[in-house]
Structure 1
Amino acid sequence: MDVSSTGPTRRDVLRATGLGISLAAASPLLAACGGLGSSPKTENTKKNLKIGFVSPRTGAAASFGEPDAYVLDLAKKAISGATGYDVQILDRDSQSNPQRSAQVANDLINGDQVDLMLTTSTPETVNPVSDACEAAGVPCVSTVVPWEAWYFGRGAKPTDQNAYKFTYHFCFGVEQFHNMYTHEWPQVTTNKKVGVMWPNDSDGNAIRAALGPLLTKSGYTIVDPGAYTDGTNDFSAQIARFKAENCEIFNTFPIPPDFATFWRQAAQQGYRPKICQVAKTGLFPSQVEALGPIGIDIAGGAYWAPTYPYKSSLTGISSKDLGDGYQQAGKQWNQQLGPSLALFDVAAAALKATGDPKDKAGLAKTIGSLDVETPIGRLQWGKGPNANVVATPILGGQWIKSTDSRYQVEFVLVENSSDPNVPVAAKLREYGA
C-alpha cells in the first residue's frame, strides 16, 4: 500500500499494538513458521521508502506536467506491491524555474529524506534537481532533456565517461535529432537552407555545438542569427534574416512561449518556410491548439506515442492502453505519458534489484547497470554513450487537423529511423500546402 504523510507511522503501529510486529506483518511469518514463534527478536523488516518526483506543473513548461496526475496515480497503485516495500511518492512542482527546482529538490533531500529522486522535462527543472542529488549523494533518474544538455550542461567534459556517481538519465540526443531530420526533411523538396533559432540556454548551446556541424556535413546550410535570450518578445531581426536568406526550413529549440511569439510574428511578417521543425515545444495538443490555424502542419519530434509497441514493466500497461486510458479520463493523449511512467519502471526495477534500497550508494550502483522494459522501449545502462546515460529514440511527426471529432489536432508519425519497430502513419507534407 502507499504510505502518506497523514497515515500512521511504524512507531505509531508499534505503540498501539505493544508488539514487535503488526498482525499484517506477522501473517507471512505465521505461514512460514506454522504459528507465532517464541523468539523475542522477531520484527517487521519491511522498509518504508520515499521517492521524490519533480516536474513542471506550472510556468513556461507547464504543458509537460499535464499528465502527471494520471501517471502518478498509476505508479502509486502499483509500486508498493511490485517492490515489496511501503513506497511513498512525494511530487513537487518546479514551476519551470531553475531556482525553484533546486529548492524543492533540497527540501525533498534534507527535509523529507527521500531515498530516490525522479525528475523530468527541460533543463530548467531537471539539471538543478540532478545537481542537488549529486551533491547530496541521493540517487536520481531523469528524462526529457537532450542528453548532451543534461550531461555537458552540468559540467561534464567530452572526455568524461562516468562523470556522475548518483545521477542517471535516459533521453534522446543530437544523433537522434540528426537522424530524424535527415530522414524527414527530404520528404519535402527544399533548397536545404535551414534558419535556426537556438537559444542561449542548456538546450540551445548543446544543439548549436553538436547538431549544426552534423547538419552541415549532411549538405544543409545553417543560417544562425545567433543565440537569443529566453523571454525575447521581438524576433523581427531573425525573421528578416530568414526571409533574406530564403530559408525554406526553420528549426528551433525554444521554451514554448517564445515559439508562440516568434511564429505569430513570422506569420504577420510573411515568413512561411516549407518545413517548420520545432523541438521542446509543439509536443502536446494544447501547445498547437493555442496557435490556431498557424499550428497546422508544424513538424515535431515524438519520444513516445500510443503506437509504440512497448509496455510498462511496473504496471503491465501497453503503450496503446496508456494512451487510451488517458483519453478515457478526459484528455487527448500526451507523449509525456510514456517517459514519465518509464521513470517509475526504472525506480521499481532499481528498488527490487538492490539488496538494501536505503543504501544510497548501492541503489545508485544498481541503476548504473539496470536493464528494464518501459513504454518507450528497453533501457540498458552501461551500453553508452557513457555510464550515466541511455540514449533513446526520437521519431519525426507532424500536426494535422484531427480526424477525431473530439479533438482539434492530432500528431502523426512520418519518420522512424531511430526505432523502426514503431510504425509510420503518413508522409511529411509542406507547411501550409
Structure 2
Amino acid sequence: MPHSPNSGLTRRQLLRAASLGIMAGPALAACRIGAGTSSTGGTGAIKIGFVSPRTGPAAGFGEPDGYVLDLARQAFASGLTLGGTKFDVQIIDKDSQSNPQRSAQVANDLINGDGVDLMLTTSTPETVNPVSDACEAAGVPCVSTVVPWEAWYFGRGAKPDQKQAFQYTFHFCFGVEQFHNAYQTLWSQVDTNKKVGVMWPNDSDGNAIRQALGPLLTKSGYTIVDPGAYTDGTNDFSSQIARFKAENCEIFNAFPIPSDFATFWRQAAQQGYRPKIAQIAKTGLFPSQVEALGPIGVNIAGGAYWTPTYPYTSSLTKVTSQQLGDGYQKSAGKQWNQQLGPSLALFDVAAAAFQAVTDPKDRKGLARAIGTLDVQTPVGRLQWGKGPNANVVAAPILGGQWIAAPAGSPYKVDFVLCDNSSDPNVPVAAKLHPYTA
C-alpha cells in the first residue's frame, strides 16, 4: 500500500476537530500508553476505559492499539468543553489477555478503581462480552465492536423478541445477515458443488453462527456438512478432515480462534484436504496470521470489516481511511491491520456521545445519548435506533482474499476485496480465485 504524503494526523486536521469541541494540541508526547493522561488545567476529568486483547490467542486484534490510542489521545489532548465547562480527557487502556476472567477483572478495576465514565471494548466475545456485562451490572455506559452482533446480544442473554435488552451497553458490528450476503456473493464466483464443510466451535461465536447462518446458507442452496461443535483448544482434527474429504466438501468455512485454525489447516494439508474455497472468519483477518501459515495461507478467503479503501473518515480525528492505513504502516513499520478502523471508530462514538450531553458524569444521560447517536467513522455511518434492535448497529462485513503480494512489495501477502454486498460504496478490487488455483 503506497504511503500518502498526508498520512497520519496533520495540524490542519487537528484544528478542524474543533468543530466537535475538541481542541487538539502538541501534548501527545506527554501521553504514555496506559497512563491515561491528556491535558491539565480543566475543572474535571472525563475518564474513558479501553479494553482489548493485546496478548493471548486474540493478540492480532490488539496489534494496532498503540497507534490508535495515540491518535485518540492527541485528538483529546486539550480536553472537551461541554455546557461551558472544561474537562480533561483521560484514556486508560487495559489488556484483556484474550481471557474472559481477565476481561471481567480489568473492567471492574476500571469501573471501581478508576471510576471511568465510559467504557470502550473490542475484539471477540472472550473480551467484549464480560466487559459489557460488568458495565451493564454497574450502570456504566459501554460501546463495543468486533463481535458478530448476535454473539454479543444473544450471547449475553437477550431474547429474540427483545428490542432493547440492555440499558447501558451498545454495540456496532456485522452480523449473520452480512456474512450470508458476503458468502453468497463470494462463493458464486467459483464453480463448486455447493457442499460446505463447517468448523463452528462450541463458543459464543460458533453457537450464534450455527443457529443463524447455517439455516440461511441451506435456504440459499448450500449443503452444510457439520461434524459438530468442537472445544476451543482441540489439537486433533483428523475426524473432521476425514468427514470433509468423504463428503467432497468443496467449500470450507470456519470461525475458530487463530491457534485452532493453524492446527486444523496444517493437518488438512498433510491429510490432503484442499477445498476450492477456504472461507475463514475470526482468524485470517490480519497479515501476521496469514504469513504464519506459509504457502498454505495464500488464497484463503476472509472477511473485512475495514480496509484503507473504505471511503470514510474519522469524525474525531478527520483522518481518512487511506491515511489511517498509511499512517500506521509508516509509524509501526507493519502492514495495515483492519482493526485500525473499528478501534478508531470507538473513539469517534465516544466523542459524539460526550458532545451530546452537558454533564459527562450523568451515566443515565450518557447511555440515552449513545442510543440516539448518528456518527461518521472509518467503518461508515453508525446510526443507533435503525439497527436490528435499540442496542445494536449492524455494520458491514465484506468478502475478500489473501493473495501473494505483487513483485516489489515490502509485504508477503495482500488482501483484495472481492465483494461489497453490505456496502456498495466500498470498491471491489478483484474476483475470488479458487484456493487450489
CA contact (8 A) 1:368 1:388 kept: yes
Letter in 2 for 1:177: F
For residues 325 and 108 of structure 1, the distance between their equivalents in structure 2, rounded to whole angstroms, comes to 30
After alignment, is 263-272 or 348-357 more displaced? 348-357
Task: Show the counterpart of 1:227.
Answer: 229
Report whether the alignment pairs 1:371 with 2:374: yes
In structure 2, give the amino acid aligned to 1:53.
F
| Match for residue 100 of structure 1 among 93, 96, 102 | 102
Is the Cα contact below 8 Å between 2:386 and 2:393 reproduced in 1? yes
* CA spacing shift, 1:82–1:430, aligned 2, 3 Å: farther
Q: CA deviation at 1:355?
A: 1.3
Of 366, 389, 413 in structure 2, the residue corresponding to residue 409 of structure 1 is 413
> Which of 156, 165, 168 is matched with 1:166 structurally?
168
> Is 2:77 the partner of 1:75?
no
Distance 1:81 1:349 in 2: 16
Tell me which of 414, 417, 423 is aligned to 1:419: 423
Which one of the candidate residues 389, 394, 397 is aligned to 1:386? 389
> Structure 1 pair 6/220, CA: closer, same or farther in 2 (3 Å)?
closer
1:366–1:266: structure 2 CA closer, same or farther, 3 Å change rule? same
d(CA) in 1 for partners of 2:435 and 2:186? 13
Higher alpha-carbon Rg: 1
SS in 2 for 1:276: strand
Amino acid at match of 1:332: Q
**Within 2, Cα distance between the matches of 1:185 and 1:83?**
48
Q: Contact 2:374–2:383 at 8 Å: present in 1 too? A: yes
3-state SS of paired residue (1:385): coil
Structure 1 residues 80, 234: closer, same or farther in 2, change over 3 A? same
Change (3 A) 1:254 1:7: closer
The residue type paired with residue 110 of structure 1 is N
Q: CA deviation at 1:155?
A: 0.2
Partners of 1:81 and 1:306 in 2: how far apart?
28
Q: Distance in 2 between matches of 1:356 and 1:296?
A: 51
Q: Deviation string for 1:165-197 (max 9, x for gaps)?
A: 000000000000000000110100000000000
Check if 1:149 corresponds to 2:146.
no
Match in the other structure for 1:137: 139
1:133 Cα deviation (Å)?
Answer: 0.2
Matched with 1:305 is 307
What letter is aligned with 2:373? L
Show the counterpart of 2:115.
Answer: 113
4+ residue segments displaced more than 6 Å:
2-10
Contact 1:82/1:314 (8 A) holds in 2:
no
Q: What is the distance in 2 between the residues matched to 1:318 and 1:397?
A: 21
Q: Does 1:338 align with 2:341?
A: yes
State the shift of 1:47 in Å. Answer: 2.6
Distance 1:156 1:365 in 2: 19
- 2:212 corresponds, among 210, 213, 223, to 210
Distance 1:314 1:6 in 2: 21
Given that 2:36 and 2:90 are in contact with CA atoms closer than 8 Å, whether structure 1 keeps it comes out as no
Task: Name the residue aligned to 1:275.
Answer: 277
CA contact (8 A) 2:38 2:79 kept: no
Q: Structure 1 CA distance, aligned partners of 2:145 and 2:218? A: 28
Partner of 2:5: none
Q: Structure 1 residue 192 and structure 2 residue 209: aligned?
A: no
Q: 2:434 is matched with which residue?
A: 430
Match of 1:152, as an amino acid? Answer: F
1:200-246 deviation line (CA, Å, top 9, x unaligned): 00000000000000000000000000000000000000000000000
Tell me how far apart the structure 1 counterparts of residues 345 and 262 of structure 2 sit (CA, whole Å).
29
| Per-residue deviation, 1:51 | 0.5
The counterpart of 2:183, out of the listed 181, 184, 189, is: 181
In the TM superposition, residue 352 of structure 1 has moved relative to its aligned partner by 1.1
1:178 aligned partner, one-letter code: H
The number of residue pairs the alignment matches comes to 401
Report the residue type matching 1:202 in the other structure: S
2:51 is the alignment partner of 1:51: no
The CA distance in 1 between the partners of 2:384 and 2:316, in whole Å, is: 18
Q: Which amino acid aligns with 1:362?
A: G
Instruction: Please give the per-residue CA displacement for 1:108-142, whole angstroms capped at 9, x wherever unaligned.
Output: 00001100000000000000000000000000000
Distance 2:209 2:196 in 1: 14
- Name which structure has the greater RCO, CA cutoff 8 Å, separation 6+: 2
TM-score where L is the length of structure 1: 0.90
Contact 2:79–2:88 under 8 Å retained in 1: no
Give the Cα–Cα distance (whole angstroms) in 2 for the partners of residues 79 and 279 of structure 1: 34
Unaligned runs of 5+ in 2: 1-26, 82-86
Aligned partner of 1:334: which letter?
A: N
TM-score by length of 2: 0.89
| 1:353 Cα deviation from its structure 2 partner | 1.1
Aligned residue type for 2:200: W
C-alpha distance in 1 between matches for 2:290 and 2:306:
17
* Range that drifts further, 400-409 or 50-59: 400-409
Distance in 2 separating the partners of 1:211 and 1:121: 20
- Secondary structure of the 2:418 match is strand
Q: CA RMSD in A?
A: 1.7
| Offset at residue 405 of structure 1 (A) | 2.3
2:362 pairs with one of 349, 359, 363: 359
Partner deviation per Cα, 1:315-364 (whole Å, 9 max, x = no partner): 00000000000111111000000000000000011011111010011101
1:152 is paired with a residue whose SS is helix
One-letter identity of the residue aligned with 2:348: D
Rounded to whole Å, the distance in 1 between the matches of 2:228 and 2:341 is 34
Determine if contact 1:309/1:422 at 8 Å carries over to the other structure. Answer: yes
